[in-house]
Amino acid sequence: MITTPSTPSATAPDPGATGGGGSRPGLARLRGRVFSSSSPAWIFLVLVVIVAVFSVIKPHQFLSSFDIKSIFINASVDLVMAVGMTFVIVTAGIDLSVGSVLVFSGVVAVKVMEALASGATAVSAGWGVILVGLLAGMAAGAAWGVAQGAVIAKAKVPPFIVTLGGFGAALGLSQVLTNGVDASDVPAKLGNTIGNGSLGPFPWLVIIALVVAVIGAGVLQSTRFGRYTFAIGSNAEGARRTGINVDRHLLKVYAVVGLLSGLAGDLSLAHFTTTTLASHNNDNLTVITAVILGGTSLFGGVGSMFGTVVGVLIPVVLDAGLVIVGVQTFWQGVAVGVVLVLAVYADQLRRKNNSRR
């Protein structure tokens, strides 16, 4: 099966040289590109395959707009956190506190709305009160992130420990503030619009999450902030010697993930119209899984926001698809687990290839 392409040069002095010389740089470049961004490309393919399989099995149900919409809605809150998590993991850090910060921010938002609303509850509160409450929620998340970032950057406590502590503390504080009982007096206006409303066919939650992801992608790829994030994850000491203020940058990165967890708290509050105290213990693992699936290296220095979007969608799509197909959804955990381990294994192979120069 030697199909020689029509080579115009009649006098090929060395067939090996022309063939190899002609194709190898191109191939090497292609391989280099696919390798450097390999995981997102491959994982996108995985997503496409999953969607194709479910679409073939149950075309009408899976592709119905209801299911697509619910898939995206389910993904949007996680996506907002995953955008922040991508920055953190690219610095070779980790944030285990996101789910608890989400709850904490939601609680702060509700409490502020309650305090500002005219009646005993905030259910009938107006937009002014809602807006202040939402901003308070985001501020609470950002403040939490700054506190964690300060301990990580200045006190040099490993991020795993700092955010593990933050994970417990944020949830505990939320329970203290609410006496352990979910606050459900979320303004109806909020739930009916941002929480469950749509702009045309597009749910507000999805629009907000995608806007966050697009901005996140731009910041990560095309700004100094993003470049420094990669540099620190790749070689923190080198970045420091280049004159980058590594400590301050890390502080900012953890502030960003805190802020976005706060925003996710607002969105979750709007969607479920309650503070969902008990429902976010696994958010950290869900979000970290999504980011890693999307090709961001746990060892830092490599990552993309596009990959993160795909990585968030895969578990959600699997979940929805398995329900429709009639397989127990427990298999979703199995499938995601396997893919996750494979993704990290592929990442390690890539690193080994790179270091063998």
Q: Which of residues 327-356 bind another protein (CB under 8 A)?
A: 354-355
Q: Which of residues 7-26 bind another protein (CB under 8 A)?
A: 25
Q: Which of residues 190-219 bind another protein (CB under 8 A)?
A: 218
Task: Answer yes or no: are the C-beta atoms of 274 and 62 closer than 8 Å.
Answer: no
Q: How far is the CB of 83 from another protein (least distance, A)?
A: 18
Q: Which of residues 122-151 bind another protein (CB under 8 A)?
A: none
| Rounded-to-integer distance, Cα 95 and Cα 224, Å | 22
Q: Measured from the CB atom, is 90 or 143 closer to another protein? A: 90
Q: Measured from the CB atom, is 215 or 342 closer to another protein? A: 215
Give residues with Cβ within 8 angstroms of 13, minimum separation 6: none
| Rounded-to-integer distance, Cα 162 and Cα 97, Å | 9
Q: How far is the CB of 250 from another protein (least distance, A)?
A: 15
Q: Measured from the CB atom, is 154 or 161 closer to another protein? A: 154
Q: Measured from the CB atom, is 29 or 154 closer to another protein? A: 29
User: How does DSSP classify residue 58?
Assistant: S
Task: Answer yes or no: are the C-beta atoms of 173 and 144 closer than 8 Å.
Answer: no
Q: How far is the CB of 201 from another protein (least distance, A)?
A: 31
Q: Which stretch binds another protein (CB under 8 A): 28-36, 49-57, 79-87, 115-123?
A: 28-36
Q: How far is the CB of 240 from another protein (least distance, A)?
A: 8
Q: How far is the CB of 12 from another protein (least distance, A)?
A: 24
Q: Which of 12, 15, 29, 63 binds another protein (CB under 8 A)?
A: 29
Q: How far is the CB of 238 from another protein (least distance, A)?
A: 4
Q: Which of residues 32-91 bind another protein (CB under 8 A)?
A: 32, 36
Residue among 212, 198, 192 nearest 76 (CA): 212
Tell me the CA distances in angstroms from 297 to 86, 238, 301, 345, one per residue in order: 9, 19, 7, 11
Q: Measured from the CB atom, is 226 or 315 closer to another protein? A: 226
Helix (H, G, I), strand (E, B) or coil at 223: coil
| Rounded-to-integer distance, Cα 246 and Cα 228, Å | 8
Going 207 to 290 to 273 to 170, the CA torsion angle's sign is: negative
Cβ-based neighbour number of residue 113 at 10 Å: 27
Q: Which of residues 214-253 bind another protein (CB under 8 A)?
A: 218, 222-224, 227, 230-231, 233-235, 237-244
129, two tokens: 């009160």
Count interface residues toward another protein (CB under 8 A): 27
Residue among 326, 260, 304 nearest 40 (CA): 304
| Rounded-to-integer distance, Cα 75 and Cα 81, Å | 10
Q: How far is the CB of 126 from another protein (least distance, A)?
A: 35
Provide the mask over 254-293, with x wherever binding to another protein is found by CB under 8 A and - wherever it is not: ----------------------------------------
Q: Measured from the CB atom, is 33 or 172 closer to another protein? A: 33
Q: Which of 302, 310, 317, 318 binds another protein (CB under 8 A)?
A: 302
Residue among 86, 91, 36 nearest 240 (CA): 91
Q: Which of residues 309-328 bind another protein (CB under 8 A)?
A: none
Q: How far is the CB of 113 from another protein (least distance, A)?
A: 34
Q: Which stretch binds another protein (CB under 8 A): 29-37, 57-65, 113-121, 135-143?
A: 29-37
Task: Answer yes or no: are the C-beta atoms of 250 and 149 closer than 8 Å.
Answer: yes
| Rounded-to-integer distance, Cα 52 and Cα 59, Å | 9
Task: Answer yes or no: are the C-beta atoms of 50 and 320 closer than 8 Å.
Answer: no
Going 242 to 244 to 245 to 247, the CA torsion angle's sign is: negative
Residues that bind another protein (CB under 8 A): 25, 29, 32, 36, 218, 222-224, 227, 230-231, 233-235, 237-244, 301-302, 354-355, 357
